[in-house]
Amino acid sequence: MGWGVLDDKYMEYPPGTALIGDSGTVGSIGNEDQDTADTSHLKRHGDIILQPQPSADVNDPLNWSPLWKNSIMGILALSSGVTVSLAAMLAPGIQTIAKEYDVSFDMVTSMLLGLLGFWTGFTTFFTAAGASVWGKRPFFVIGTVILLATNIWGFAATSFPSLAAMRAIQGMASAPLETLVTSTVSDIFFVHQRGSRLAMWSVMLMSGALLGQIISGAIIERFGFQATFGFAAVIFALLLPAQYFLVPETAWNGPQSTLAKGSKKNSKDETKKEAETTVAIKEDEITKKDGEAGREETKKTDEEKETTVEIKEVQSNTSEVTTETKDKEVLTETKEVSSETTTTASGSEGLRPAFYDNIPANHICETYRSRIRLFRGRISNDSFWRGVIKPIPLVVYPAVIFATIVHGSFFTWLIVLGLLLNIVMQGPDYGLTPMQYGLTNLPLFFVTLLAAPLSGWAADASIKFMAKRNKGVFEPEFRLVLMLVAVPFSSIAYFAAAPAIANKVSIEVLIMLGCLQSFAVPFASQAALTYVIDCHPADANQAFVTINFLKAIMHFAATSQVSGWFERSGPYAVMYTVGVLNIVICAFTIPAYVYGKRFRSMVARSKLAAKIAANR
């Protein structure tokens, strides 16, 4: 048992458990008699073992240069932030819109805010399925084109039904940029890097929600709410070429490995089947055809080195692999970094990129023109319609359940508190204008700029610290320690908001409570999202579909009911209910942390997981 995470009696290393420390061996935690496997051949960055292990192909996104990968992440994060701002930017003008079209406050929030979120969540079923079949890049670019068009529509709209219809389509187009970015992180970054990159994404999301209100408040007051759509259209017009020319496809179906050894503990009733397979490995030269990168199938020759792999299969669908080679070397992995040059498609030689590990020089890099083409055909044999329904069963996965209720609830409470402050601050007691209300989000924005990077750093630093003191073994449950920050800050904000609103305290106090919540949300989001990615990396796309759809339903319910609920029951009933629910939901962190490893083992050994894997 490492750091309070209970071991599982069936699987020593269930999916998600990985070796990232520098112990040099993989073995049973706390069991010195357990067999160990040499890990000296595994690829590393400093003293960190790379998880997942990158392939030897230069075109593997894991092998792309840090500058290239961070540029992709930056553009997508910025695009996501602008997309999120589309909902938030109307918040300062809700009462203005209600008066102009003679509709209720709840009608504006549900049709122009909640409806957008609902259709975003619903469409993710189709975008995630399509991304698995045709890649993410087409959906990013096409989604941005539609967002540009709908903002032009919104700028020219003259009726409330037209605005509502536009927002529904805008919600559908928002799906790729709000849900596929997290799986892109899994495509191009290693486990120990994902926290900081998701923090960058979180910064942009929160900044979009807050800066969108600050900027739109001034625009609405001076030019009218329709002008906010014109401003957004200009931004998407700038983002579109950046996405097209600088964000290639990140999906990779080539070989990758994770833990060097996947040992397990057998129960007495389990029967074993042994099979011995001889695998001959040789990397043949990769040739270029029709201007696109390709590779020839490897062929067996008399000179090939053979690797004998003994595979022990058990009924629990787990395996223990031990490897021995004739020359005691692993042919496909190396620790040494060479200064070889890479041969380009044109036959010229240039300096090798500064990748983490040595990449064979005979792997030809895909040309830039080929890399940025929008349609690459099918990148997998997955069924699209099977992919559409695939996320539904994931709702029973414990990690997905936990991430859904935590991530969804924290963002729902964010909307609830924001709408209540909107009603109060623009009401007769405070009488703020749209621009003044928008400016109240400025302190929250600065808090977010502090909290989001800090949560990302903490997410990566904590797992390194804990894994180092756990014989180098990383458990996804280590991510959940971030909830120790999220719970107290959020609880104080919710319970203190009720008397603050009821007693009509100063605006500074209300802003301070909003800052407490803004500090808590990135830590909760980091804990939930990185936990799912680490537990189910192969199903990350589908898991986030489930999470975001259920979050969208929660958002729609909140935007439709919170104003009427507040008017009927007052601030104490609303905020105390939110505070109690928040504590109850966050309490699930304890069983998720303590029993998480056993939950992952249970999922891995289940028939449902086997069926999903077979259809992957």
Residue 313 lies in a domain: no
Taking the CB of residue 71, how many other CB atoms lie within 10 A of it? Answer: 15
Residue 605 lies in a domain: yes
State how far the Cα of 556 lies from the Cα of 505, in Å rounded to an integer: 29
Domain that holds residue 190: 65-252+384-615
CATH (domain of 227) = 1.20.1250.20
Indicate the DSSP class of residue 292: E
Residue 603 lies in a domain: yes
State how far the Cα of 481 lies from the Cα of 485, in Å rounded to an integer: 8
Both tokens assigned to 387: 């992919």
Q: State residue 615's pLDDT score.
A: 66
State how far the Cα of 593 lies from the Cα of 529, in Å rounded to an integer: 14
**3-class secondary structure, 308:** strand
Residue 450 lies in a domain: yes
What DSSP element (H or E) covers 353? none
pTM for the predicted model, two decimal places:
0.70
Residue entry with tokens 């500058």:
67
Sheet containing 305-314: order of strands: 272-281, 305-314, 319-325
Taking the CB of residue 275, how many other CB atoms lie within 10 A of it? Answer: 9
State how far the Cα of 382 lies from the Cα of 374, in Å rounded to an integer: 19
Of 501, 516, 491, 519, which is closest to residue 579 (Cα–Cα)? 491
State how far the Cα of 115 lies from the Cα of 31, in Å rounded to an integer: 54
Count Cβ atoms within 10 A of the Cβ of residue 291 and give its class: 0-12 exposed, 13-18 middle, 19 or more buried: exposed
State how far the Cα of 85 lies from the Cα of 209, in Å rounded to an integer: 5
**3-class secondary structure, 481:** helix
In order along the chain (616 residues), what is the average pLDDT of each group of 10 residues?
Answer: 85 85 40 48 77 83 90 94 91 91 90 90 92 93 97 95 95 91 87 83 85 91 93 96 93 59 38 33 37 39 38 36 36 34 32 39 73 87 88 89 92 88 90 91 91 88 89 90 95 95 93 94 91 84 84 86 88 94 95 93 88 71
Q: State residue 21's pLDDT score.
A: 60
Residue 87 lies in a domain: yes
Sequence-separated (6 or more) residues with CB below 8 Å from residue 360: 56, 283
Q: What is the pLDDT of residues 596-612, one digit of tens each?
A: 999 999 998 988 888 87
Residue 323 lies in a domain: no
Render 31-51 in DSSP notation, one character per residue: -TTS--EE-TTS-EETTEEPS
- Supply the Cα-derived Rg of the chain in whole angstroms: 26
Residue 375 lies in a domain: no
Of 423, 412, 514, 432, which is closest to residue 217 (Cα–Cα)? 432
Indicate the DSSP class of residue 396: G
State how far the Cα of 616 lies from the Cα of 603, in Å rounded to an integer: 16
Q: What is the pLDDT of residues 360-415, one digit of tens each?
A: 444 577 888 888 889 888 988 888 998 898 888 888 899 999 999 999 999 899 88
- Judge whether 532 and 544 are in contact, CB under 8 Å: yes
Residue 100 lies in a domain: yes
Q: State residue 203's pLDDT score.
A: 83
Total of domains in the chain: 1
